[in-house]
Amino acid sequence: MRTARDGGKPECDGIVWPEWPVYGDEERRAAAEVVDSGKWWYGDRVARFETEFAAFQDAAFAVSCTNGTAALRMGLAACGVGPGDEVIVPPYTFVATALAPMLLGATPVFADIDIETANLSPESASRVVTERTKAIVPVHFAGLPCDMEAFGKLAADHGISVVEDACHSWGSKWNGKGTGAIGRCGAFSFQMSKNITAGEGGILLSDDPKIAEFARSYSNCGRRDGAPWYEHYILADNLRMTEVQAALLSVQLGRLAEQTAKREANAGILDRVLADLDGVSIPPRPSAVDRRAYHIYLFRFTGEGWTIDRDEFVAALDAEGVPCSSGYPIPLTRQPLFADRRFDAGGVEATERLCREAVWLPHTLLLASAEAVERAGAAIVKLARAYR
């Protein structure tokens, strides 16, 4: 059988993959109710969504904001991060993870990832801790929770804060606790591509009332609850979420548990197909992971025994009708913005390697029927037969 790249019929010919966002009359009604109420600004809908999302992720407190970057900045500021401090971050993540501490005058310090999970390596992170380290930001990449036990111990040993970048992990749980509520606080994004969205938006979760109190003030021009409206107590910003955004997110949240379960089930189909395929590696699932969000289905094309490289594989898989990409082309350490930043003296070779080997499938693919996902897996097997 010829591959589509070589002129054959695409394996997934005729499949229409789900579009994003998923929405319907519920969102229309929720938005219309806000519009008709005339109460568009930072009111009951925002408070309701904060309560709902905190409960969904097992957190005591939630403070909404404009986007995930703002949520990270808010969390770091609540943990006392400021000029002269260092914050440990991974180099395999969206740029916002490293921008957030810089926006507070702090310095991001890069530690390498674990090549198997794509998550920040606790061992690498431990090697870059200094007396200036104030916080560490593990990213639950693609929705797979980091080793929060190891990061908790590292933080306790050095007196630093763990601020989770949970912007891929709505619904993920580690040892029965929702991500974002395991460290001192955790940030989420509701940007358009995310698994729950209002176009933009963010939220910070914490079990610490002092973190929540600071974050509320930081997001609301430095005000304090119960104080006069025109009194301002800290250097802060206006990061408030609108009522329309909150109304949309409440509806989206109502779909999230079912969607997460479907993504997990369909990811299991791909896991079974790829588990024994030479030249391909899927991340392990630690026993502590009770539920896993999939913002991305990530695997590595290591290429042993194949006659094509990763980029050719991605092009061939796309030709078969499977939406895919190669993800981040370079580590953050090679971005011009971070050229002078310090990183683990052992290097970031695992991140460099993942940039060469990663294949990303979007979370929307995992919302398709099981039959469609089986055909996506069959497309990969087809390529293996043709190019091995």
Is 245 tagged catalytic?
no
Cα 212 to Cα 230: distance, rounded to the nearest angstrom: 21
Is 53 tagged catalytic?
no
Is 343 tagged catalytic?
no
Walk across the sheet containing 177-178 and list its strands: 177-178, 173-174, 289-291
Catalytic residue among 53, 56, 94, 313: 94
Catalytic residue among 48, 224, 232, 240: 240
- At 298 the three-state DSSP class reads strand
Catalytic residue among 165, 216, 338, 363: 165
Catalytic residue among 25, 36, 225, 230: 230
For residue 154, give every residue at least 6 positions away whose Cβ sits within 8 Å of its Cβ, in sequence order, or none: 122, 125, 126, 129, 136, 160
Cα 145 to Cα 143: distance, rounded to the nearest angstrom: 6
For residue 302, give every residue at least 6 positions away whose Cβ sits within 8 Å of its Cβ, in sequence order, or none: 279, 280, 281, 357
Catalytic residue among 194, 310, 363, 375: 194
Is 232 tagged catalytic?
no
Catalytic residue among 73, 140, 184, 223: 223
Cβ pair 225, 202 in contact under 8 A: no
Is 240 tagged catalytic?
yes
Element at 180 (helix H, strand E): none
Catalytic residue among 191, 255, 334, 353: 191
Counting DSSP H helices and E strands in the chain, the numbers are: 11, 13
Cα 208 to Cα 216: distance, rounded to the nearest angstrom: 12
Cα 293 to Cα 230: distance, rounded to the nearest angstrom: 42
Is 153 tagged catalytic?
no
Strand partners, 296: 362
Is 28 tagged catalytic?
no
Is 191 tagged catalytic?
yes
Catalytic residue among 5, 134, 168, 382: 168
What single-letter DSSP state applies at residue 285? -
Catalytic residues: 94, 165, 168, 191, 194, 223, 230, 240
